[in-house]
């Protein structure tokens, strides 16, 4: 009985193996063929675009010929994957070009497919299709769908809501920051980076009215985003916003604050504020980063502050402080400290600064 069962199992396994072999063979051949097809589309697109942007003298680009060229290489409604690849190429190109050529490209791209594919994707249940649709909408400047994007800004899938939020920035600019206090879900670092990038590329003049409205956000990711915006646009008048977060209980928020503040050269009042906050930071590595920054932007060494750290800081802070003082003309103070340490070990006395 066991023998019969085992023989049946063995035969089934052999059949499965054959199916997998067939799948491997098919996959390899299909991939090779598909790669050739995609290379052809990419090369054709590159040629078409370059000749369109820089035609021969006295020759006008022929859009009908361009459309025919694309149809010949398989950019037709019945081949949606080819159409999708072309859309990706168009987006990639548009993101690489600025100036007059950017406007020329926009004109060209309205004349060739994507056959209205992007809006259809918004209705898909699959997150990657939906998110792709949103990306295409804002990259191809289809601003008529901005209401749909507003509805997707709190979607439960992180990629969908990311693309929706980026899309809102593209279409609404600084005004879209008014949604920031009402975002319910986590925003990733990449999202923050893209939002700042899009604002910088498309709306380089900061609109402080809307930015400051967003200050009421309490979520850490919103705070981090605002700090990055302040840093990117060098809004020195709002640098206090960043300073307030230097001793925040959240590690990542402090990390962002220290990173963002390091772009600024501060006045004495702000510098004093930072020195006060220094003592409240619970992470030694972050304190070290801030210490290096304080030293970098100070016109002269604040001996009171540094000596306090030298005598009363943690071991690691003491070493860094000693390093700064030693290399900035205060070798005697460092030697004095170590002499006192040696004496204290012998006498057991407390030493005050």
Partner 1 sequence: MEFDFSYYIFWTLNYFFLFYGLLLIALYFFAIILSSKSVATNKRKARFLQVNDIVSATDIPSITLIAPAYNEGQTIVENVKSLLALQYPFYELIVVNDGSTDNSLSLLIEKYDLEPFDSTFITQPIPTATVNKIYKSRKLQYKQLTVIDKNNGGKSDANNTGINFASTELVLCTDADCIIEQDSLLKMVRPYLEEAEQEVIACGAAIGIINDSIIKNGVVQELKLPKRLIPMIQVVEYIRAFLLGRMAWSEINGVMLVSGAFGLYARNRLIEVNGFNVHTVGEDLELGIRLRKHMEEIKVPYKMVYLPETLCWTEAPNSIDILVKQRDRWARGLWETMALHKNLFFNKKYKDMGIFYYPYWMFFELGAPIVEFIGLLSLIIFGLMGLINWNVAVLLFICVYLLGCIFSTIAIFIYVKNFKHYDSGKEVVELLLAAYLEPFVYHPVLVYGQIQGYYKKIFSLKSSWGNMKRKGFSSNP
Partner 2 sequence: MRKALVIQEDIIILKILERLVLLNHYDCRAIRSINDLNIEDQSENFDIIISDILFEGISPLDFVFQIQEIILHKSLIIVTNMGQKKIQNEVVASNKVDGFFAIPLDMDHIKKLIA
Q: Which residues bind partner 1 (CB under 8 A)?
A: 2-3, 6-7, 9-10, 13-14, 16-17, 20-21, 23-25, 27-28, 31-32, 92, 128, 131-132, 135, 158-159, 162-163, 185-190, 192-193, 196-197, 228, 232, 251, 255, 259, 283-285, 288-289, 316, 319-320, 322-323, 326-327
18 binds, among partner 1, partner 2, none (CB under 5 to 8 A by kind): none
Nearer to partner 1, 9 or 351 (CB): 9
Q: In angstroms, what is the minimal distance from the CB of 87 to partner 1? A: 12
Q: What sign does the dihedral 139-143-148-151 (CA atoms) show? A: positive
Residue 234: half-sphere exposure toward Cβ, Cα within 13 Å = 5
Residues 12-51, one symbol each (x = binds partner 2 by CB under 8 A, - = not), give ------------------------------xx-xxx-xxx
Distance CA 341, CA 311 (A): 9
Nearest alpha carbon to residue 109 among 158, 48, 44: 48
Nearer to partner 1, 235 or 322 (CB): 322
Nearer to partner 2, 48 or 158 (CB): 48
| Residue 95 DSSP symbol | T
Total residues in contact with partner 2, by rule CB under 8 A: 23
The alpha carbon of residue 62 and the mean position of all alpha carbons in its chain are separated, in whole angstroms, by: 39
| Residue 236 DSSP symbol | G
**Chain residues 308-347 in contact with partner 2, contact rule CB under 8 A:** none
Token pair recorded at residue 278: 């220094």
Nearer to partner 1, 238 or 323 (CB): 323
- Find the angle CA(158)-CA(212)-CA(258) to the nearest 5 degrees: 70
**Chain residues 75-134 in contact with partner 2, contact rule CB under 8 A:** 89, 92-93, 95-101
42 binds, among partner 2, partner 1, none (CB under 5 to 8 A by kind): partner 2
User: Which uninterrupted H or E stretch holds 216?
Assistant: none
Nearest alpha carbon to residue 261 among 291, 219, 220: 291
Distance CA 61, CA 91 (A): 21
Q: Is 53 in the site for partner 2 (CB under 8 A)?
A: yes
Q: Is 215 in the site for partner 2 (CB under 8 A)?
A: no
Nearer to partner 2, 93 or 320 (CB): 93
Q: Is 272 in the site for partner 2 (CB under 8 A)?
A: no
141 binds, among partner 2, partner 1, none (CB under 5 to 8 A by kind): none
Q: In angstroms, what is the minimal distance from the CB of 115 to partner 2? A: 21
Collapsing DSSP states into helix, strand and coil, what is residue 202? Answer: helix
Distance CA 71, CA 78 (A): 11
Q: In angstroms, what is the minimal distance from the CB of 299 to partner 1? A: 23
Whether the Cβ atoms of residue 246 and residue 254 lie closer than 8 Å to each other:
yes
Question: Looking up tokens 């491997």, which residue turns up?
Answer: 24
Nearer to partner 2, 198 or 254 (CB): 198
Burial 65-88 (b: 16+ CB within 10 A, else e): ebeebbeebbbeeeeeebbbbbbe
Q: In angstroms, what is the minimal distance from the CB of 319 to partner 1? A: 5
Contact residues toward partner 2 (CB under 8 A) are 42-43, 45-47, 49-51, 53-54, 56-57, 89, 92-93, 95-101, 201
């Amino acid at each position: 009985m066991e023998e019969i069962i085992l023989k049946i199992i063995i035969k089934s396994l052999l059949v499965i193996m054959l199916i997998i072999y067939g799948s491997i063979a098919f996959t390899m051949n299909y991939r090779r063929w598909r790669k050739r097809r995609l290379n052809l589309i990419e090369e054709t697109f590159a040629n078409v675009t370059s000749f369109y942007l820089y035609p021969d003298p006295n020759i006008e680009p022929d859009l009908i010929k361009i459309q025919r060229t694309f149809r010949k290489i398989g950019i037709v409604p019945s081949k949606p994957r080819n159409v999708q690849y072309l859309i990706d190429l168009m987006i990639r190109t548009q993101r690489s070009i600025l100036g007059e050529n950017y406007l020329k490209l926009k004109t060209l791209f309205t004349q060739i497919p994507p056959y209205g594919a992007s809006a259809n994707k918004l209705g898909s249940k699959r997150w990657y299709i939906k998110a792709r649709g949103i990306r295409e909408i804002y990259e191809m400047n289809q601003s008529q769908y901005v209401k749909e994007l507003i509805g997707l800004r709190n979607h439960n899938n992180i990629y969908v809501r990311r693309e929706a939020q980026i899309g809102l920035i593209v279409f609404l600019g600084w005004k879209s920051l008014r949604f920031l206090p009402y975002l319910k879900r986590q925003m990733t670092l990449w999202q923050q980076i893209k939002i700042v990038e899009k604002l910088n590329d498309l709306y380089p003049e900061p609109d402080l009215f809307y930015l400051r409205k967003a200050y009421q956000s309490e979520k850490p990711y919103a705070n981090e985003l605002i700090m990055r915006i302040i840093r990117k646009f060098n809004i020195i008048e709002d640098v206090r916003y960043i300073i307030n977060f230097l001793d925040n209980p959240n590690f990542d928020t402090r990390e962002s604050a220290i990173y963002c503040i390091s772009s600024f050269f501060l006045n004495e009042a702000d510098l004093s504020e930072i020195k006060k906050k220094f003592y409240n930071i619970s992470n030694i590595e972050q304190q070290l980063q801030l210490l290096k920054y304080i030293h970098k932007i100070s016109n002269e060494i604040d001996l009171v502050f540094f000596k306090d750290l030298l005598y009363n800081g943690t071991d690691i802070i003491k070493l860094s402080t000693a390093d700064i003082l030693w290399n900035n003309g205060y070798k005697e103070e460092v030697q004095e400290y170590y002499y006192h340490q040696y004496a204290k070990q012998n006498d057991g006395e407390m030493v005050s600064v």
